[in-house]
Amino acid sequence: MNLSTQSYKGSRDFYPAEKRVQNYIFEVWKRVSERFGYEEYGAPLLEPLEIYAAKSGQELVSEQTYQFVDRGGRNVAIRPEMTPTIARMVAGRQQELGYPARLYSIANYMRYERPQKGREREFWQLNTDIFGVEGTAADAEIIRLADTAMQEFGAKRDMYTIRINNRDLINFMMAQYLRLDAVQSQLMIKLFDRKNKITHEQFRDQAAEIFDKDYAAEGLRKMAKLIGATTMAELPQEILDSEAVKEVQQLFTLLAEAKITNAKFDITLMRGLDYYTGMVFEVFDNHPDNNRAMYGGGRYDGLVTLFGGAPTPVVGMAMGGTTMEEFLRGHELMPQLTSTTDIFMVVLGEVQKQAEKIADELREEGVNVAVDITARKIDKQIKAAVKMQIPYLMFVGEKEVADEVYRFKDVTSETETEVGLERIISTVKDYRKKHDDDDF
């Protein structure tokens, strides 16, 4: 029987070239998170199923979660997200943490979804959360962190839009303005969350079914006013008078002070997960070939109490690796990434032991060296180094060992020189510094 070489549907293999891209994205995430004072944490891949059933939403638990009964009879799930996990962890050591508690992780997750462009069953995310701060200052910090990450990748603000709404405002809109009961409100929120995935006619017809029959016509007219509002000033007066609007206005003031010019109010932005309690936001790619939400987050003040903790305000976001990669490629922001190996040492003749000794000297100076140990022909050694995208070739034969002068070739420019070890070391370090500066 021949086994397939394909990875599990909806997952990816990361060969060295793909892993370099992933590591680049992770390194930017890590650097920006720590620049804002966030500390890294880790968590188990498996969690009790009940922590998602409690607040994440029925669709996530029933349709998207990889779940099974373990050998101890426990219902468990491969984590589909991190938010319930970090809430559990904070509740577990609530008195030991210093506040505001700024925490981040870079981890993988699994959801049983239909694989499509930008959406996989196994995916990687940056999660950042700030615990212990009420009000819009924490909301603004999370959005500033998201914006800074985009800037660190080289993005200009006309390449992406930060769309913002507020769940308190959404709840007021549903209950007071559209006159929906609790069940209808949840159905309408789910429908708004799918608005860009269905046709206008489907959206209208499904909305009409949610309203009471004798109110459907008026409800649809009111909803059209909401959807047509591109700024807060265009909202109906009944909504503008609400307390939730003032909170959103305060947030936009803070963002303007931080010179974030591409933030936009979007009354249709819902964020489907059930645990959000205040501000919600999403970052959209403005590229015409990928005009979609890339990632987002919001405030979820009630989640820590589910684990027996005291009420704790918290704001967080999750940034996906695949959507970030697509953004970078779409806007031609992906840097040229080469092998982590600096030098491929081509061995000429019977000098293998001497070559290994020279390689060790280079390694002691911080140079990454791969020595060919196959005794194959020179052309095959060179072809292997080119396939591996190693930037430099170093030729070591009897003459080079005797003279301590080595043929040293830049693979990209195809220029070759004869130099000693000191020059090789300085050349590699200059190359590495230049590429690090270009990347970051």
Pick the residue with more confidence: 438 or 134?
A: 134
In a domain, 1, yes or no: no
Rounded Cα–Cα distance for residues 214 and 194 (Å): 25
Average pLDDT over residues 249-263: 96
In this structure, the answer to whether residues 356 and 432 fall within a common structural domain is yes
Least confident of 170-184, 264-278, 360-374, 413-427: 264-278
In this structure, the answer to whether residues 318 and 181 fall within a common structural domain is yes
Number of domains observed in the structure of the chain: 2
In this structure, the answer to whether residues 293 and 198 fall within a common structural domain is yes
Tokens 């609790």 correspond to what residue? 182
In this structure, the answer to whether residues 392 and 325 fall within a common structural domain is no
Residue that terminates a domain, selected from 330, 364, 384: 330
CATH of the domain at 150: 3.30.930.10
Confidence of residue 54 (pLDDT cuts 50, 70, 90): confident
Cβ(424)–Cβ(343) below 8 Å: yes
Is the confidence at residue 420, as pLDDT, over 60? yes
Q: What's phi and psi for 293, nearest 5 deg?
A: -70, 130
* Residue 440 pLDDT: 53
Average pLDDT over residues 18-26: 97
In this structure, the answer to whether residues 295 and 351 fall within a common structural domain is no
pLDDT digits (tens, 9 = 90+) for 339-388: 999 999 999 999 999 999 999 999 999 999 999 999 999 999 999 999 99
Of 41, 243, 218, 230, the C-alpha closest to 135 is 243
Q: The pTM is what?
A: 0.90
Is the confidence at residue 147, as pLDDT, over 70? yes
In this structure, the answer to whether residues 297 and 372 fall within a common structural domain is no
Q: How much of the chain exceeds pLDDT 90, in percent?
A: 78
Average pLDDT over residues 57-69: 86
Mean pLDDT of the chain: 93
Rounded Cα–Cα distance for residues 17 and 388 (Å): 9
In this structure, the answer to whether residues 49 and 130 fall within a common structural domain is yes
Cβ(359)–Cβ(321) below 8 Å: no
In this structure, the answer to whether residues 271 and 403 fall within a common structural domain is no
* Residue 56 pLDDT: 64
By CB atoms closer than 10 A (0-12, 13-18, 19+), residue 431 is middle
In a domain, 3, yes or no: no
* Residue 273 pLDDT: 64
In a domain, 337, yes or no: no
Residue that terminates a domain, selected from 273, 304, 330: 330
CATH of the domain at 355: 3.40.50.800
* Residue 271 pLDDT: 81
* Residue 438 pLDDT: 66
* Residue 434 pLDDT: 84
Rounded Cα–Cα distance for residues 282 and 17 (Å): 30
Which structural domain range is residue 428 located in? Answer: 343-439
Q: What's phi and psi for 402, nearest 5 deg?
A: -70, -40
In this structure, the answer to whether residues 292 and 373 fall within a common structural domain is no
In a domain, 11, yes or no: no
Cβ(439)–Cβ(24) below 8 Å: yes
pLDDT digits (tens, 9 = 90+) for 309-335: 999 999 999 999 999 999 999 999 999
Least confident of 30-44, 181-195, 392-406, 411-425: 181-195
Is the confidence at residue 231, as pLDDT, over 80? yes
In a domain, 52, yes or no: yes
* Residue 233 pLDDT: 86
In a domain, 249, yes or no: yes
Least confident of 64-73, 214-223, 428-437: 428-437
In this structure, the answer to whether residues 118 and 222 fall within a common structural domain is yes
| DSSP type of residue 64 | I
In this structure, the answer to whether residues 360 and 320 fall within a common structural domain is no
Residue that terminates a domain, selected from 330, 352, 371: 330
In this structure, the answer to whether residues 263 and 214 fall within a common structural domain is yes
In a domain, 6, yes or no: no
In a domain, 118, yes or no: yes
Is the confidence at residue 58, as pLDDT, over 80? no
pLDDT digits (tens, 9 = 90+) for 385-413: 999 999 999 999 999 999 999 999 999 99
Q: Which helix (H) or strand (E) holds 341?
A: none
* Residue 190 pLDDT: 86
